[in-house]
Chain A
Amino acid sequence: MSYVQRETPILADLCTSLVEDHVGELAARIFSVLARLGRQTLAAIARASYLSARQIRNGLSVLLQHNLVFHSPVGAPLVHYEIDWHYSYALVRQGSIAKFVEERFDKRASNVVANLLSLGPTRIGDLKEAYFPAHDADSDDESDDGTANGSPLKKAKTNGVNGISTKTNGDVNGDSHTDHHATNGATELGAQRKHPADDIPAEHVNGEPVAQDEGVIASEKQLLDIVQLLMREGWLMEADQTQFLSPGDLHAMVQETVIEEEHHGIAPTGTKAKDDMVRSILRRKRKIRDGWLTVPATLSSRKRQAPDSGHDRSTKRLKTNGGNEWSANTSNGASSQRETSPEDDIPIRVNPEKVAVAMRSAQLVHLVEQRLGLVTAQVYQTILWQLERDLPRCFEEWPDPPLPLKPGEEPNVEPPWVDPESLITARDIAKNLDRHLDVCAGLDPHTIVKITGKGHVRGNVLTEPVDPYGLSLDEKTRVVDAHIHLLSEDPFHFVSWHSRAGTISRWRVEFDEISKALIQYEIENTVLARQKGLGVKLIRALKKKGRLDERGACNAMMMSANDIRGTINDLTVQGMIQTQEVPKVDRREAKHSLHLIWYDRQRAREKLLHDTYKGMLRIIQRIAFEREKVQVLISKAERSDVVGNEEKWLSQSDLDELKKWREVQEKLFLQLTREDELVATLRDFIGPLVSA
């Protein structure tokens, strides 16, 4: 995912603004030094920044705590610091991460994730402490955890509602947990539901209103359950020293080990040996990285009947069978003496790559919704969410290079091996589909008649209506199958047929191909918005035919040269297409030259990515400017005596102005998120493209 993090000045400016917004000005100043100068030592930063050594150390530790900079390996004679561009940029995604987690799990899980994001890597023990302080409320504020994690912990207490609310809820839990458990089952099931009416029965399952707020984590046990689940699904991972190594340092370290262990300490020279070394290095890098994502044994063995057998996961519940254990745990809940458990020492953090997977799913679902309708989109979402669990990232950053061909050998065209676990069947989807979805909608009525075998179609209306909620699983499976066919026939090929097991078709999602199509789609969208149809037509023509001269372009587009010349010009100026003059005779005369136009997807992609960074920076700058204009008012509104009594202290025009500011801010933030989505599409879903 770190690909094309070309440290353009724009990206540097953008990240500096983000850092300033998220972790403060001091850190941002050091960040900008590193952004300007690249990899630096402490002393060099001091020279370049006019800051005292103490300030620099503080700033750096904040940056390090948030994984915004790398540092060279521990034990190296001179410590170098270097920006982690990827993670710095990812600051803009923090809100999205919490949102995605909430969509997939619940508020509690997203709360954990949000806290981890603001804390940086944290030991599980500290996380427990943050949620369930062992001390009394009054000793809370200046507690004795004065180590490196001191400040973030305090932060967690202020923004994590839990710290306070558990105390009030603590004893209620003792007797209401059975109810609560039932409720949870319900809420999770309904997680995909949209209709507001559904919430009511869920809350009152057992006739008694449940006092507990859905978003509150009730116990350490529950917290661990959440952490474990999030780790298993790849949202959290173990924090590790190697994560602080810059790509270069990591490479050097791994290379050293490989040379040491496999080549007796001598760098190999032969082609074959070199190739072996490259492969080993890649293999080890992958191993290190995948190691972070394995759920530590102490955590996974904790629960004996852990539902990780692969099938249960699909039911998507935080605790499928945790009922008994849980009651045992709550009885000696938060108030009792904390026992130290083996998992306490495991440091965890948010997996920065996972959010791109979720973003990809969200965008694909949105695209399907536009092209094929809401219901098919919901079917697709179910498919994607099911696959997501096993996808810690969008694409392999360190794939093995293709094997060198032996002379006379055909390139291997065998389809890549596909994990049978990642295949989809209509039946699985039918089972997991939100049961409140009118699955029949969006299909040809003839399909429905064929499936139910009842009545027929007259004037495209069913003579015998079908209750979509009363379908048998078999019928539902076939309806879902019809949606899957729609998905696969679409030119995006949202799903592809893989194989048949018995009579059941198995499908897969070819993310790489779809991601390429998505990039193309966004480029076309951009051009469409600027040039209307003509530009897109030209780009598509060039994409299909490769290099064209003017005549060829005219023929493909069936238009006269005069009509397209302007468009060619505009697109060239925007950097979306390129033109080239190929002289046909010795004298370079324009008249005798061939004028070729072509379109390079990778180039257009990078150009658009760069422009988008710039667009984001402008939005952030505009937010700052808008805030500046109402700064006085904001400070006034935030005064403790004013909060809650706004009507009393602020004039009507002040209130209006504040309201306007909030709207403006919201609009700008929304747009920022949308630009970030574009960045994800362009940058994070697939590696560099070699376009034809």
Chain B
Amino acid sequence: MDLLYEKCAQRAAGTIFFQRDLQNMQVAETLGELTMLVGQLCAQHLLKLMTFDSEMCWKLRTRSEADKLRRLNPDERLLYHHIDQAQNEGIWSKALRARTNVTQQLLTKCLKSLESKDLVQSVMSVKFPNRKMYLLKDLRPSEDIAGGPWQSEGDFDAALIDTISGVVARYIESETCIKVPGNWNDYTPMDRAQAIAQKKAQVQGVRDIEDSLAVQPYKPPVDPTAVRVVHRNNPQYPTAGTVASWLNAKEILKDKHVRDDDMEQLLEMMVLDGRLEKISGATYRTVLMASDTKTFNGFVDAPCGNCPVFDLCGEGAISARTCVYFGEWLATESEVI
């Protein structure tokens, strides 16, 4: 029996064994003996019986896990069984009670003990925020209850979202924008217009006012290191789909797959954030600001636009005459009362 267990344990964790796999291990002499051995292992919770396509199959449990399971009381074991069946979808505590017919008290007690034994975990469902879902400890909650790659513990993972949106923003910028150095077009202002005008004047024998006005244009000095970011000519605007496959290919998110929907959620959020803008139905690009000085508008840039006592201000003690904010802003004295 131990031999069979050891042989199975040599395989990668989580492997599923069918009968023929076990037979091929050549531990048992006869099929009957094998069946008996498997039965013993199951009884000790070292193997877990499952079915796949109505064929029996088994999965190995660790010795410590089996140990814990052996120590469960029958109620706990029953609940464990049902939770196990729900797999990573999890099962709602109410549903669990309906299925097992145990009393609420017992249920609570058993679940507590299971949790304390590190066998099951509870997760708040994202779909139904007031439902507590139970699933086995070693399983990752499905997206239905845990809410996609951006959430953990039922809540948005701010740090993760921050990192990934930064990565995505950089990617989209490189796709849709181009960095142009200050000296990109280092022309010598050759006065062609003037040349043409002169020629024209010679031919026509008259001076056209407009042409003669072509004075040497003023060429501002450029700083070759001053890089300007401009929108690309004819870019392939990314969609949620393209960004998702790019991100998945980069494998930045460990063992998480980002579906197109997830990516769309993230990109839409970034649009709300003002980092991306939508071009047509489903394509995005980076928001560029050509000037760095940001002013808001006439109202909020003045003291009153941000004033905490705006609604109280008027004729009385708080007024434009006594206003400290104006005093500060203009560096003048206000009336003291």
Taken together as a complex, chains A and B put the C-alpha atoms of A641 and B303 apart, in Å, by: 39
Q: Mark A421-448, 1 if CB is under 8 A from B, else 0.
A: 0000000000000011010111111111
The main secondary structure of chain A at its interface with chain B is helix
User: Which residue from B184, B289, B301, B304 sits with its C-beta under 8 Å from A614?
Assistant: B304
A186 touches B320 (CB 8 A): no
User: Which residue from B185, B232, B320 sits with its C-beta under 8 Å from A462?
Assistant: B185
| Given A466-B187, A556-B269, A460 and B330 contact (CB-CB distance below 8 Å) | no
A529 touches B213 (CB 8 A): no
Q: Mark A547-581, 1 if CB is under 8 A from B, else 0.
A: 00001001111111001000000000000000000
Q: Mark B180-217, 1 if CB is under 8 A from A, else 0.
A: 11011111111111000000000000000110111101
Taken together as a complex, chains A and B put the C-alpha atoms of A241 and B214 apart, in Å, by: 49
User: Which residues of chain B from 141 to 198 have any CB-CB distance to chain A below 8 Å in the complex?
Assistant: 150, 155-156, 158, 161, 178-181, 183-193
- Contact of A470 with B by CB under 8 A: yes
User: Which residue from A435, A551, A671 sits with its C-beta under 8 Å from B129?
Assistant: A551
**Which residue on A lies nearest to B319, using beta carbons?**
A621
How far, in Å, is B294 (CB) from chain A's closest CB? 8
CB neighbours (8 Å) of B273 from chain A are 533, 537
User: Which residues of chain B from 280 to 323 have any CB-CB distance to chain A below 8 Å in the complex?
Assistant: 288-291, 296-306, 310, 313, 319-321, 323
B218 touches A622 (CB 8 A): no
- Contact of A526 with B by CB under 8 A: yes
Binds B, one of A266-274, A400-408, A675-683: A675-683
A-B contact pairs, 7 of them (CB 8 A): A373-B230, A435-B217, A462-B184, A469-B193, A529-B301, A544-B268, A619-B304
CB neighbours (8 Å) of A614 from chain B are 304, 310
CB neighbours (8 Å) of B104 from chain A are none
Q: Could you say which of B150, B228, B233 has the most chain A C-beta atoms within 10 Å of its C-beta?
A: B233
CB neighbours (8 Å) of B192 from chain A are 467, 469-470
User: Which residues of chain A from 594 to 635 have any CB-CB distance to chain B below 8 Å in the complex?
Assistant: 608, 611-612, 614-615, 618-619, 621-622, 625-626, 629
| Given A554-B156, A612-B298, A618-B323, A486 and B187 contact (CB-CB distance below 8 Å) | no
- Contact of B274 with A by CB under 8 A: yes
**Which residue on B lies nearest to A613, using beta carbons?**
B299
| Given A370-B291, A462-B185, A614-B304, A677 and B298 contact (CB-CB distance below 8 Å) | yes
User: Which residues of chain A from 447 to 499 have any CB-CB distance to chain B below 8 Å in the complex?
Assistant: 447-448, 450, 459-462, 465-470, 482, 486, 489-491
| Given A198-B215, A489-B231, A558-B269, A618 and B298 contact (CB-CB distance below 8 Å) | no
- Contact of A655 with B by CB under 8 A: no
- Which A-B residue pairs are the 10 nearest by beta carbons? A674-B298, A470-B192, A675-B298, A621-B320, A465-B187, A444-B233, A529-B300, A373-B290, A529-B296, A615-B304
| Given A189-B210, A537-B272, A621-B320, A526 and B289 contact (CB-CB distance below 8 Å) | no
Taken together as a complex, chains A and B put the C-alpha atoms of A447 and B231 apart, in Å, by: 11
- Contact of B266 with A by CB under 8 A: yes
| Given A189-B210, A611-B310, A675 and B299 contact (CB-CB distance below 8 Å) | yes
Taken together as a complex, chains A and B put the C-alpha atoms of A112 and B155 apart, in Å, by: 66
B305 touches A526 (CB 8 A): yes
- Contact of A541 with B by CB under 8 A: yes
Taken together as a complex, chains A and B put the C-alpha atoms of A409 and B265 apart, in Å, by: 39
Taken together as a complex, chains A and B put the C-alpha atoms of A465 and B224 apart, in Å, by: 14
B180 touches A186 (CB 8 A): no
Taken together as a complex, chains A and B put the C-alpha atoms of A485 and B13 apart, in Å, by: 58
**Which residue on A lies nearest to B335, using beta carbons?**
A625
User: Which residue from A198, A466, A522, A626 sits with its C-beta under 8 Å from B297?
Assistant: A522
- Contact of A8 with B by CB under 8 A: no
- Contact of A528 with B by CB under 8 A: yes
Taken together as a complex, chains A and B put the C-alpha atoms of A185 and B181 apart, in Å, by: 38
CB neighbours (8 Å) of A461 from chain B are 181, 183-186
User: Which residue from B212, B289, B298, B304 sits with its C-beta under 8 Å from A371?
Assistant: B289
B188 touches A197 (CB 8 A): no
**Which residue on B lies nearest to A560, using beta carbons?**
B155
A-B contact sample (12 more), CB < 8 A, given A197-B215, A536-B274: A372-B290, A438-B219, A465-B187, A486-B231, A529-B296, A529-B297, A536-B272, A556-B272, A560-B155, A563-B158, A668-B330, A671-B302
B299 touches A615 (CB 8 A): yes
CB neighbours (8 Å) of B150 from chain A are 558
**Which residue on A lies nearest to B329, using beta carbons?**
A667
CB neighbours (8 Å) of A674 from chain B are 297-298, 301-302
Taken together as a complex, chains A and B put the C-alpha atoms of A459 and B180 apart, in Å, by: 9
**Which residue on B lies nearest to A573, using beta carbons?**
B311
CB neighbours (8 Å) of B277 from chain A are 490-491
B185 touches A465 (CB 8 A): yes
Taken together as a complex, chains A and B put the C-alpha atoms of A107 and B233 apart, in Å, by: 41
Q: How many interface residues does chain B have, given as a range?
A: 35 or more
User: Which residue from B185, B188, B209, B321 sits with its C-beta under 8 Å from A445?
Assistant: B185
B187 touches A370 (CB 8 A): no
| Given A445-B184, A537-B272, A626 and B330 contact (CB-CB distance below 8 Å) | yes
B230 touches A559 (CB 8 A): no
- Contact of A250 with B by CB under 8 A: no
**Which residue on B lies nearest to A663, using beta carbons?**
B330
B290 touches A442 (CB 8 A): yes
How far, in Å, is B88 (CB) from chain A's closest CB? 22
- Contact of A664 with B by CB under 8 A: yes
- Contact of B95 with A by CB under 8 A: no
The main secondary structure of chain B at its interface with chain A is loop
Taken together as a complex, chains A and B put the C-alpha atoms of A678 and B304 apart, in Å, by: 14
- Contact of B51 with A by CB under 8 A: no
**Which residue on B lies nearest to A608, using beta carbons?**
B299
B313 touches A618 (CB 8 A): yes
B181 touches A460 (CB 8 A): yes
- Contact of B279 with A by CB under 8 A: yes
- Contact of A658 with B by CB under 8 A: no
Taken together as a complex, chains A and B put the C-alpha atoms of A467 and B189 apart, in Å, by: 6
Taken together as a complex, chains A and B put the C-alpha atoms of A460 and B60 apart, in Å, by: 59
Please give the residue numbers on chain A whose beta carbons come within 8 Å of chain B beta carbons, in ascending order: 182, 185-186, 189-190, 195, 197-198, 201-202, 205, 369-374, 435-436, 438, 440-448, 450, 459-462, 465-470, 482, 486, 489-491, 522, 525-526, 528-530, 533, 536-537, 540-541, 544, 551, 554-560, 563, 608, 611-612, 614-615, 618-619, 621-622, 625-626, 629, 660, 664, 667-668, 671-678
B332 touches A664 (CB 8 A): yes
Q: Could you say which of A195, A440, A625, A660 has the most chain B C-beta atoms within 10 Å of its C-beta?
A: A625
How far, in Å, is A464 (CB) from chain B's closest CB? 9
| Given A186-B209, A626-B332, A667-B330, A556 and B187 contact (CB-CB distance below 8 Å) | no
A369 touches B158 (CB 8 A): no
How far, in Å, is B244 (CB) from chain A's closest CB? 16
Taken together as a complex, chains A and B put the C-alpha atoms of A442 and B310 apart, in Å, by: 42
Taken together as a complex, chains A and B put the C-alpha atoms of A447 and B215 apart, in Å, by: 27
B298 touches A467 (CB 8 A): no
CB neighbours (8 Å) of A444 from chain B are 178, 180, 230-233
A671 touches B179 (CB 8 A): no
Taken together as a complex, chains A and B put the C-alpha atoms of A559 and B158 apart, in Å, by: 7
**Which residue on B lies nearest to A671, using beta carbons?**
B302
Taken together as a complex, chains A and B put the C-alpha atoms of A528 and B300 apart, in Å, by: 9
User: Which residues of chain B from 17 to 40 have any CB-CB distance to chain A below 8 Å in the complex?
Assistant: none
B193 touches A611 (CB 8 A): no
User: Which residue from A443, A469, A660 sits with its C-beta under 8 Å from B217?
Assistant: A469
CB neighbours (8 Å) of B302 from chain A are 615, 619, 671, 674-675
CB neighbours (8 Å) of A374 from chain B are 290
| Given A526-B297, A625-B320, A460 and B218 contact (CB-CB distance below 8 Å) | no
Taken together as a complex, chains A and B put the C-alpha atoms of A630 and B124 apart, in Å, by: 68
How far, in Å, is B329 (CB) from chain A's closest CB? 8
How far, in Å, is A490 (CB) from chain B's closest CB? 8
User: Which residues of chain B from 71 to 98 have any CB-CB distance to chain A below 8 Å in the complex?
Assistant: none
CB neighbours (8 Å) of B181 from chain A are 459-461
How far, in Å, is B211 (CB) from chain A's closest CB? 11
B320 touches A618 (CB 8 A): yes
